[in-house]
Structure 1
Amino acid sequence: MTNFPQDRQGRPEQARLWTKNFVVLSTVNFFVTLIFFLLNATIALYAMREFQASSGQTGLIAGIFIIGSLTGRLWVGRLAPSKTKLLVALLLFALTTLLYFVQLGIGFLVLSRFLNGVTLGVISTVVSTIVVLSLPGSRKGEGISYFAVSTALATGLGPFIGLYMIQHTSFGAIFVFCLVLGLVNLLIAVPLAVHAFPSTTPQPGPGFKISDFIEPRALPISIHIFVMTFCFSAIVSYLNLYAIELDLVDTAGFFFMVYTVFVLVSRPFSGKLIDKKGANLIMYPAFVLFGAGMMLLGSAWESVGLLVAAALIALGFGNLSSVSQTAAVQSVEPGRVGLATATFFLFFDLGNGFGPALIGLLIPLTGYRGLYVLLGGIIWASILLYYFLYGKKESRVRKLEAATRENG
């Protein structure tokens, strides 16, 4: 059983979602995710202007951060979460942000991005694991959905702030802003009270076992999220360049604001539905909406089309990501939640990491329009992948549960 925090009268807070820890952890997650998306939306243009980087090099610079994050997750996912790990990682995150001020060429920028990414991987895995373990079982989907609002807000505000700062300030100001946010985040985490969580994760033996680093039961839904984040990375990394081509740079900033609003509108409903009805009820419509949004993005000529695409993508990807995380952690017992969380975000990071690099190679062949239409088709086709990896089993489990209730 998970050790839940207690109230002042010593009673377990199992029915509560909005505890002090939940708010602190959501805030920490918001700021660290905001920094990531702010930098990812601007770093490609920075590399092109400051170092005359090619499209392939900008993809590597954007994606290597995620590869670093993946490395951090692999290391920390099998360890018990603690406040000390979180504070150390937050300090190192701020310190590695300082490396952006050092201009020693593309190679050093790639290294800086990698190290910064390692610290982010540790932070987000520790934060997510503590949150999941602290949520009551009957409201886990709802709790994760609300926690994921912090990610959704950062996903929208990060690129918006980044694109605004590119137009009105300098890249140096962007790095200063990120450094200040990193230090503020460290201070926010100081009052956190992390209770001990029992762990059933096996200690490393004499031989190498993949299950020491990857949770097999979380793999099916994690493979699915890899495809989704791969497609979404094309928006985060290349929407600004696409908007320049369309002469819609101002609209591009509002794209992420519209995305945020529609995620926030839909999130309270989707979180409760997954607890009551299961993942499939949300996932299949979300696939359709996400694919339609990408198709519309690839065919947009005016601001209206771009913003409607943002709304559709929010209702699609915004819910796919939170529901998939819930499905991953619900597939394991409490002692394996850390590994399940790390496994889910590892594949999440793989999609975000390899996406910009591979997509950067595709753009000369497809153009931005052709790229987004192609990715929309991939999203629709992945409905079948989801069905065989997870959806079919989900339907079977729900039918069995319904039959059990009917039989008393």
Structure 2
Amino acid sequence: MLIGDDKVQQEQQQTPLWTRQFIALTTCFFLLFLSLQMLLSSFPAYVKDEFHTGNIQASLVTSVFALAAIISRFATAALMQCVSRMKLLLAGLIVAAVTTALYSAASSFATLLSLRIGYGIGFGMASTILPTLVSRIIPLRRMGEGIGYFGLSTSLAMSIGPSIGLNVMKQAGFLQLTMIGLITSLVIFPVLWLSRAKREQAPVEQTKPIRQVVLPIASAKPEFNLRLLFPALLNVFLSITYSGLLSFLALFGDYVDIKQVGLFFMFNAVTIILVRPFSGRIFDRFGHAVVLIPAGLFVTASMAVLSITHAMPMLIVSALLYGVGFGAIQPTIQAWMLRISKPEQYGMANSMFYNSTDFGVALGAILLGAISTVTNYSVMYRYSAGVMAVFVLFGALQHFMATRRVKRSNDIVLGS
């Protein structure tokens, strides 16, 4: 038995990670999130200027998108049981591209919100299927490393996208920004075609025998995994802080008179790139708590520094700290959720991960928007620091309780 396990582990370690499918799907995910992030950071400022709304109304363009994506992911997870994943993926990408093209034509705030809902539906479909396909071609023993590299695509997009969007918006305007977002979305289609030839075989080889794949749909439905709830909750806390950056950093820059506030995302990207590969390997070797607790402290410190920022040097320090924490936390939580799931639950795990991200973004946009309305943006970021302090506390308590359970189990085994 032990020899067999060693052999499986050795084969998993030797299985190549950087296949054509993995590279192409990771690139598609990067482009999908890049198109999203370029526009997401500029929407609140555009809405306030174009439709003369307040902070809470401006935050709705983020919230309704995120809520639509959440609902879409639940529907997509169910549809994947009976509809081709490729058809669903293409449909989602087409909806996302069409709504992006129509943003600048919106003549009213209500029309823009409707388009944001449509985009959320398309984005939710695509962002559920792509990570599910990827997670089923990553060797299980290299899940942390594989998800770390795959997640780097989203982190890079979340780091450079807002900076690009804010600069294009300032230099060229919203119409040109939507066109760039549309072109980015369209590039996904040829890249996706490059991955199609071999991708269909991967899930069967690494998960179920063929005879199991053809079982009736009802019996193949995966059971809900309650263990996913806690890491999803932690991801909500992290996403609330990110929502505060997406929705209000540009407005915060005006408040403290920092002209190039979009540089936050560029410096943030530097530390994300540096920390991502290491965090995945640390997770694979030592588990999630060793990564999450220190990384949570980095994000807490980042938000605290940002709340007292009045000049570019402090903004850069905050960005570097946030990149270390965010770049380590996101892939670790996703890999943790996949590790505690069965292969047939990977779709559910990925759906919960991205749903918790979008729920945190939606919740953060509303709550932090309300806080900034009655106080100011500096106080708002202090509340973000408090949210991450709760993240650290919850993570430490979970680790303590899990360690105690393991110790008790070992004591029982030794006593018997």
Q: Deviations over 1:102-147 (max 9, x none)?
A: 2231111111001101111111111111111111111110000011
- Describe the shift of the 1:283–1:48 C-alpha distance in structure 2 as closer, same or farther (beyond 3 A): same
Quote the offset at 1:300 in angstroms: 1.0
Q: Paired residue for 1:327, among 330, 336, 344?
A: 336
Quote the offset at 1:33 in angstroms: 0.6
Aligned residue number for residue 7 of structure 1: none
- Name the amino acid aligned to 1:293: S
CA RMSD of aligned residues (A): 2.6
Q: Distance in 2 between matches of 1:393 and 1:221?
A: 15
**TM-score, normalized by length of structure 2?**
0.87
Alignment of 1:175-214 (within 5 A): 175-193=178-196, 194-196=199-201, 197=203, 198=208, 203=217
Q: Distance in 2 between matches of 1:86 and 1:401?
A: 45
Quote the offset at 1:83 in angstroms: 2.6
Q: Distance in 1 between matches of 2:370 and 2:151?
A: 31
Q: Distance in 1 between matches of 2:293 and 2:259?
A: 32
Aligned residue number for residue 237 of structure 1: 247
Matched, 1:26 2:26: yes
- Name the amino acid aligned to 1:195: E
On the 8 A contact 2:12/2:140 being kept in 1, the answer is no
On the 8 A contact 2:56/2:373 being kept in 1, the answer is no
- Describe the shift of the 1:38–1:234 C-alpha distance in structure 2 as closer, same or farther (beyond 3 A): same
Number of paired residues?
387
Q: Distance in 2 between matches of 1:202 and 1:144?
A: 30
Question: Is the partner of 1:134 in helix, strand or coil?
Answer: coil
Question: Is the partner of 2:42 in helix, strand or coil?
Answer: helix
Quote the offset at 1:202 in angstroms: 9.1
Q: Paired residue for 2:384, among 375, 386, 390?
A: 375
Aligned residue number for residue 275 of structure 1: 284
Q: Which runs of 4+ in 1 moved over 6 A?
A: 11-14, 199-202, 397-403
Aligned residue number for residue 175 of structure 2: 172
Q: Distance in 1 between matches of 2:405 and 2:184?
A: 44
Q: Distance in 2 between matches of 1:122 and 1:401?
A: 42
Matched, 1:91 2:94: yes
Aligned residue number for residue 6 of structure 2: none
Q: Distance in 1 between matches of 2:350 and 2:318?
A: 30
Quote the offset at 1:327 in angstroms: 0.6
- Name the amino acid aligned to 2:172: T
Q: Distance in 2 between matches of 1:401 and 1:76?
A: 40
- Name the amino acid aligned to 1:235: L
Q: Deviations over 1:329-388 (max 9, x none)?
A: 111110111011111211111001221122111102221111111211221132222244
- Name the amino acid aligned to 1:157: I
On the 8 A contact 2:43/2:61 being kept in 1, the answer is yes
Q: Deviations over 1:257-297 (max 9, x none)?
A: 11011011011111111001111111110111110000000
Quote the offset at 1:161 in angstroms: 0.5
**TM-score, normalized by length of structure 1?**
0.89
Quote the offset at 1:397 in angstroms: 7.7
- Describe the shift of the 1:202–1:161 C-alpha distance in structure 2 as closer, same or farther (beyond 3 A): farther
Q: Distance in 2 between matches of 1:322 and 1:188?
A: 23
Aligned residue number for residue 114 of structure 1: 117
On the 8 A contact 1:14/1:135 being kept in 2, the answer is no
Question: Is the partner of 1:300 in helix, strand or coil?
Answer: coil
Q: Distance in 2 between matches of 1:393 and 1:21?
A: 39
Aligned residue number for residue 103 of structure 1: 106
Q: Deviations over 1:36-85 (max 9, x none)?
A: 11111001111111111221110111221111111111111242573332
Matched, 1:218 2:233: no
Alignment of 1:1-16 (within 5 A): 15-16=15-16
- Describe the shift of the 1:21–1:156 C-alpha distance in structure 2 as closer, same or farther (beyond 3 A): same
Q: Distance in 2 between matches of 1:399 and 1:151?
A: 37
Quote the offset at 1:399 in angstroms: 6.7
Q: Distance in 1 between matches of 2:286 and 2:406?
A: 8
- Name the amino acid aligned to 1:95: V
Q: Distance in 2 between matches of 1:401 and 1:105?
A: 62
Give unpaired runs (5+ residues) of structure 2.
Answer: 1-10, 412-416
Quote the offset at 1:99 in angstroms: 2.3
- Name the amino acid aligned to 2:258: L
Alignment of 1:133-152 (within 5 A): 133-152=136-155
Quote the offset at 1:402 in angstroms: 10
Quote the offset at 1:398 in angstroms: 7.4
Q: Distance in 1 between matches of 2:15 and 2:280?
A: 16
- Describe the shift of the 1:398–1:103 C-alpha distance in structure 2 as closer, same or farther (beyond 3 A): same
Q: Distance in 1 between matches of 2:61 and 2:171?
A: 23
Quote the offset at 1:203 in angstroms: 4.8
Matched, 1:44 2:49: no
Question: Is the partner of 1:249 in helix, strand or coil?
Answer: coil
Quote the offset at 1:14 in angstroms: 6.3
Quote the offset at 1:217 in angstroms: 2.3
On the 8 A contact 1:294/1:375 being kept in 2, the answer is yes
- Describe the shift of the 1:394–1:316 C-alpha distance in structure 2 as closer, same or farther (beyond 3 A): farther
Quote the offset at 1:204 in angstroms: 5.7
On the 8 A contact 1:279/1:394 being kept in 2, the answer is no
Aligned residue number for residue 69 of structure 1: 69
On the 8 A contact 2:301/2:385 being kept in 1, the answer is yes
Q: Distance in 2 between matches of 1:397 and 1:125?
A: 34
On the 8 A contact 1:221/1:386 being kept in 2, the answer is no
